[in-house]
């Protein structure tokens, strides 16, 4: 008798039958940048293929997403004006609020997730209000503003709010505020485990959200820590998170797996801007095959535990999944 694992790798049909990890377009979330203005569709230099849209042109990309079979989108906003307290984040006519109203009206069947954070809206670029002259973010005043932001997004049509600020207690504050506003059906997808990562570089160009001074290490997690992720998970669950996410994606597969093992709620993985741009840059140089690299990365994230995959490659991936390659 010879044990031969290769028997199950012999043909495409056998490989497809015994595949352990399978992807579906319904697990994909496509992030979209919305900026204030009218008639705008502009390229994002650091993220080839991705664009910024004004609320009135948003329907074009929502149409593309729907045609690709992607029905979940995550909105980020770029306001016209920034200030110390990030007031554009919770303004009733803020850019994300406008986009949500527009999107919900034209694409009622689509699931709208809104990123809840202050960094795109503050003049200093930090994810909350500052304590003094340094880059320390004042936790409790910030979570009040985040809760206000979440309520205004939900009122404008967000089905799910996704806080990405990493302040302590924000999930609880947001849940309390949503419930008090009669928005019990709005779900919270918490960026429960978010690291202070260099891989957010291209996003900060896309969203104009780089900190003017200092860095985010006083609130985002230290990449050297994995067990701390379970502490963040436990806290967010206790505070009422309906779903959690680990971010970034590929460098944190161990963390994703550990979170998946302990999480009773769905777990997302955010394959971030730097991961996208690295593949784009290498592919543009002919150094790797974009389609194969993107598919492999997606499969690995799902194999490690992602129930939900947030990726700038969502539209192409949906097609590749349907072609039966994943
Ligand atoms: C806002 C936010 C960031 C990302 C998602 N929400 C940037 C940051 O924390 O600096 C990064 C997403 C990406 O890189 O694709 N706080």
Radius of gyration (C-alpha) of the chain in whole angstroms: 20
Q: 1 alpha carbon to ligand 1 midpoint, in Å?
A: 54
Tokens of 258: 């550990």
What pLDDT sits at residue 38? 97
For ligand 1, say whether the CB of 279 is within 6 Å of any of its atoms: no
Q: Pick from 301, 116, 272: which is nearest to 190 by CA?
A: 116
Summarised one tens digit per residue, pLDDT across range 95-111 is 999 999 999 999 999 99
Task: Note whether residue 281 is domain-resident.
Answer: no
Give the 3-state secondary structure of residue 139: helix
**Domain at 106, CATH number:** 3.20.20.70
Residue 202 CA: nearest ligand 1 atom is: 14
Enclosing domain of residue 227: 23-245
Q: How far is the CA of 225 from the centre of ligand 1 (A)?
A: 19
The sign one gets for the Cα dihedral 239, 240, 246, 247 is negative
From 86, 209, 211, 278, mutation site for ligand 1 pocket: most ligand atoms within 8 A of C-beta = 209
Dig out the tokens for 149 from the structure.
């932001």
Q: Residue 268 has which token pair? A: 């997302």
Q: Is 61 exposed, middle or buried (0-12, 13-18, 19+ CB in 10 A)?
A: buried
Q: Is 226 contained in some domain? A: yes
Neighbour-count burial of 28, counting CB atoms closer than 10 A to its CB (0-12 exposed, 13-18 middle, 19+ buried): buried
Closest-lying ligand 1 atom to the alpha carbon of residue 115:
6
Ligand 1 centroid to Cα of residue 203, in Å, is: 6
Is the predicted pLDDT of residue 20 greater than 80, yes or no?
yes
Is the Cβ–Cβ distance between 149 and 90 less than 8 Å?
A: yes
User: Is 70 exceeded by the pLDDT of residue 75?
Assistant: yes
pLDDT band at 324 (very low <50, low <70, confident <90, very high): confident
| Model confidence band, residue 325 (pLDDT cutoffs 50, 70, 90) | low
Average pLDDT, the chain: 97
pTM score above 0.75? yes
Residue bearing the CA closest to ligand 1, atom 6: 164
Tens of pLDDT, residues 28-50: 999 999 999 999 999 999 999 99
- Tokens representing residue 224 in the block: 């050297």
Ligand 1, pocket-test mutation among 33, 121, 164, most atoms within 8 A of CB: 164
Confidence of residue 256 (pLDDT cuts 50, 70, 90): very high
Domain-located, residue 282? no
Answer yes or no: is 287 within a domain: no
- pLDDT confidence band for 139 (50 / 70 / 90): very high
Count other C-beta atoms under 10 Å from residue 169's C-beta. 15
Task: Read off the pLDDT of each residue in 266-270 and give the average, rounded to a whole number.
Answer: 98
Per-residue pLDDT at 10 exceeds 70: yes
The residue whose CA has the least distance to atom 14 of ligand 1 is 200
Which tokens in the block code for residue 301? 């994230």
Largest CA distance in the chain: 74
162 in contact with ligand 1, CB cutoff 6 A: no
**pLDDT tens profile 172-202:** 999 999 999 999 999 999 999 999 999 999 9
How do beta strands 243-247 and 267-271 pair? parallel
In sequence order, which residues have a C-beta less than 8 Å from that of residue 224 and are 6 or more positions away? none
Distance CA 149, CA 87 (A): 9
For residue 252, tell me if it sits in a domain.
no
To the nearest whole percent, how much of the chain has pLDDT over 90? 97
Residue 134 lies in a domain: yes
**String of DSSP letters for 234-256:** HHHHHTT-SEEEEESSGGGHHHH
Domain count, the chain: 1
Instruction: Give the mean pLDDT of 145-168.
Output: 98
255 CB-near residues (< 8 Å, 6+ apart)? 193, 226, 229, 246
Give me the residue label for tokens 């960026």.
Answer: 191
Q: What residues are labeled active site?
A: 194, 247
5 inside domain: no
What pLDDT does residue 135 have? 79
- What is the DSSP secondary-structure string of 149-199? HHHHHHHHT-SEEEE-S--TTHHHHHHHHHHHTT-TT-EEEEEEEEB--GG
C-alpha of residue 61 to centroid of ligand 1, in Å: 20
pLDDT at 132: 83
Residue 97 lies inside a defined structural domain of this protein: yes
């Amino acid at each position: 008798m010879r044990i031969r694992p290769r028997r199950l790798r012999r043909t495409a049909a056998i490989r497809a039958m015994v595949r352990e990890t399978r992807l579906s377009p319904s697990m994909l979330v496509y992030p979209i940048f919305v900026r204030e203005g009218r008639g705008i569709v502009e390229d994002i230099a650091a993220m080839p293929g991705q664009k910024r849209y004004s609320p009135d042109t948003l329907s074009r990309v929502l149409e593309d997403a729907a045609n690709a079979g992607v029905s979940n989108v995550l909105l980020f906003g770029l306001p016209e004006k920034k200030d110390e307290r990030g007031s554009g984040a919770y303004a009733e006519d803020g850019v994300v609020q406008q986009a949500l109203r527009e999107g919900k009206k034209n694409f009622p069947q689509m699931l709208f997730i809104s990123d809840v954070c202050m960094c795109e809206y503050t003049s200093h670029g930090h994810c909350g209000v500052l304590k003094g002259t340094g880059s320390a973010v004042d936790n409790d005043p910030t979570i009040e503003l985040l809760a206000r932001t979440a309520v205004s997004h939900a009122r404008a049509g967000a089905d799910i709010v996704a806080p990405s600020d990493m302040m302590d207690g924000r999930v609880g504050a947001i849940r309390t505020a949503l419930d008090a506003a009669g928005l019990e059906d709005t779900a919270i997808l918490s960026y429960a485990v978010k690291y202070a990562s260099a891989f957010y570089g291209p996003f900060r160009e896309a969203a104009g959200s780089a900190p003017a001074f200092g860095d985010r290490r006083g609130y985002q997690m230290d990449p050297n820590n994995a067990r701390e992720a379970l502490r963040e998970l436990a806290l967010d669950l206790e505070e009422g998170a309906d779903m959690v996410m680990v971010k970034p994606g590929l460098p944190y597969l161990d963390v994703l797996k550990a979170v998946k093992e302990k999480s009773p709620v769905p777990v997302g993985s955010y394959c971030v801007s730097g991961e996208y741009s690295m593949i784009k840059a290498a592919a543009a140089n002919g150094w790797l095959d974009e389609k194969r690299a993107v598919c492999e990365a997606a499969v690995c994230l799902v194999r490690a535990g992602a129930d939900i995959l947030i990726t700038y490659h969502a539209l192409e991936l949906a097609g590749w999944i349907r072609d039966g390659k994943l």
